[in-house]
Amino acid sequence: MSTPSVSPVPPPATTPRLSARGLVKTFGSTTALAGVDVDLADGESLAIMGPSGSGKSTLLHCLAGILRPDSGTVSLRGRDVAGLNERERSLLRRRHYGFVFQFGQLLSELPAQENVALPPMLLGTPRAQAIALARQWLTALGLAGMEERRPGEMSGGQAQRVAVARALITGPDIVFADEPTGALDQATGAEVMRILTETTRAAGASLVVVTHEESVADWCTRRIEMRDGLVRSGALARTSGTTAVAPPTTLAEPGAYGSRWGVAPGAAPSGVVPGAVGGMGGHR
Ligand SMILES: Nc1ncnc2c1ncn2[C@@H]1O[C@H](COP(=O)(O)OP(=O)(O)OP(=O)(O)O)[C@@H](O)[C@H]1O
Ligand SMILES: [Mg+2]
């Protein structure tokens, strides 16, 4: 006689937000990725570490649909995206991903607010609405009053905050950052990492950060180590991606953003989709 009432109920299987299997990428005779498996859970922030030339950027580019791997799969919420063509991958990146790079890659001739407004405009949000939303993001990231400044008229840390605003304004599923603090001193880099991790988490996005620096990886909930195109340790996600490692609080300025993100993250301009400005009680 069976005893169904005492059978344990298995936990629901959760699909990772992003999952890569068997990624291979070569450039001529160079094997940049030699068969990489990696998962990224909801709400997780993943640091990709390893020496120069080990394949970190190539992995990030394949995960983010910038590069198409020679073989292997990349699935976004269970849907294979590695095989999409260039146009489809471009659309995928615009709709689902945000990017922060070492030098921000802001357009130098455009004021901060226009740099931040570009992604929603590319998705069809009218210019005035996109600018209003961009101003809210800049305010949320502590850059009120700097909306009209061009990147060259800001400090490196301020410019990277503009880049964070630009990465998050469309409410992406995942933010990809390649050496986001590489051009900054340690204290400024820590501040940018704090803002990047806090705002990404508050916006409900997952985060992938390529870095050489332990102090940068410490802000992430998990890390993997690459060597010669392979993941040496930590490839697959823990069962829950929401177990946050406490960031180094000594580097965080109390109150600078905490009230905004800590108390009422829902009130922050998070998870915003084009056209949602009116619903946010815009103050401009
Ligand atoms: N576009 C390319 N053409 C040719 N070779 C490339 C290209 N991109 C990367 N590679 C090679 O692939 C390997 C991995 O490069 P990748 O840029 O992924 O390394 P990385 O870990 O990001 O290094 P770094 O820390 O210096 O940025 C290296 O040997 C590199 O020279
Ligand atoms: Mg690199």
pLDDT at 282: 30
* Residue 33 Cα: closest atom of ligand 1: 14
Q: Could you tell me if 259 and 196 are in contact, meaning their C-beta atoms sit under 8 angstroms apart?
A: no
Q: What's the CA-to-centroid distance between 25 and ligand 1, angstroms?
A: 10
Q: How far apart are CA 259 and CA 108, in angstroms?
A: 32
Q: What's the CA-to-centroid distance between 119 and ligand 1, angstroms?
A: 27
Q: Which ligand is nearest to the CA of 58?
A: 1
Q: Which residues form the pocket of ligand 1, taking CB atoms under 6 Å from any ligand atom? A: 27, 30, 32, 50, 52-58
Domain limits for position 88: 17-239
Q: What's the CA-to-centroid distance between 218 and ligand 2, angstroms?
A: 19
Residue nearest to atom 4 of ligand 1 (CA): 27
**Residue in the block written with tokens 């809210």:** 136
* Long-range pairs for 189-192: beta carbons < 8 A, 24 or more residues apart: 189/213, 189/215, 189/216, 190/215, 190/219, 190/248, 190/251, 191/157, 191/251, 191/253, 192/157, 192/160, 192/161, 192/164
Q: How far apart are CA 68 and CA 58, in angstroms?
A: 10
Exposure string over 29-51, b if 16+ CB within 10 A, otherwise e: eebbbbebebbbbbbbbbbbbbe
Domain assignment of residue 250, yes or no: no
Q: What is the pTM of this model?
A: 0.82
pLDDT at 237: 55
What does the pLDDT profile of the chain (284 residues) look like in tens digits? Answer: 444 445 555 545 678 999 999 999 999 999 999 999 999 999 999 999 999 999 999 999 999 999 999 999 999 998 999 889 999 999 999 999 999 988 768 999 999 999 999 999 999 999 999 999 999 999 999 999 999 999 999 999 999 999 999 999 999 999 999 999 988 999 999 999 999 999 999 999 999 999 999 999 999 999 999 999 999 987 665 544 343 333 333 323 323 333 333 322 233 354 333 223 222 323 32
pLDDT at 239: 42
Domain assignment of residue 188, yes or no: yes
How far is residue 56 from each of residues 17, 59, 209, 257, measured CA to CA in Å?
19, 5, 10, 31
pLDDT at 125: 96
pLDDT at 32: 98
Q: Which residues are in the CB-under-5-Å shell of ion ligand 2?
A: 57
Residue nearest to atom 27 of ligand 1 (CA): 52
What's the CA angle centered on 47, arms 44 and 48, to 5 degrees? 130
Residue nearest to atom 29 of ligand 1 (CA): 53
Domain assignment of residue 216, yes or no: yes
CATH number of the domain that residue 23 is part of: 3.40.50.300
* Residue 60 Cα: closest atom of ligand 1: 18
How far is residue 76 from each of residues 15, 68, 82, 164, 169, measured CA to CA in Å?
9, 14, 9, 22, 20
Q: Which ligand is nearest to the CA of 229?
A: 1
pLDDT at 269: 54
Domain assignment of residue 135, yes or no: yes
Q: How far apart are CA 258 and CA 173, in angstroms?
A: 22
Side chain identity at 71, as an amino acid letter?
Answer: S
Domain assignment of residue 39, yes or no: yes
Q: Which ligand is nearest to the CA of 56?
A: 1
Q: Which ligand is nearest to the CA of 59?
A: 1
Radius of gyration for the chain, computed over Cα atoms and rounded to the nearest angstrom: 19
Q: How many domains does the chain have?
A: 1
pLDDT at 178: 95
Residue to probe by mutation, ligand 1, list 24, 25, 27, 178, most atoms within 8 Å of CB? 27
pLDDT at 166: 96
Domain assignment of residue 262, yes or no: no
Residue nearest to atom 18 of ligand 1 (CA): 55
Q: Which residues contact 45 (CB under 8 A, 6 or more apart)?
A: 197, 200, 201, 206, 207, 208, 209, 219, 220, 221, 222
pLDDT at 235: 63
Q: What's the CA-to-centroid distance between 106 and ligand 2, angstroms?
A: 19
The H or E element that residue 98 is part of is strand 97-101
pLDDT at 1: 45
pLDDT at 57: 96
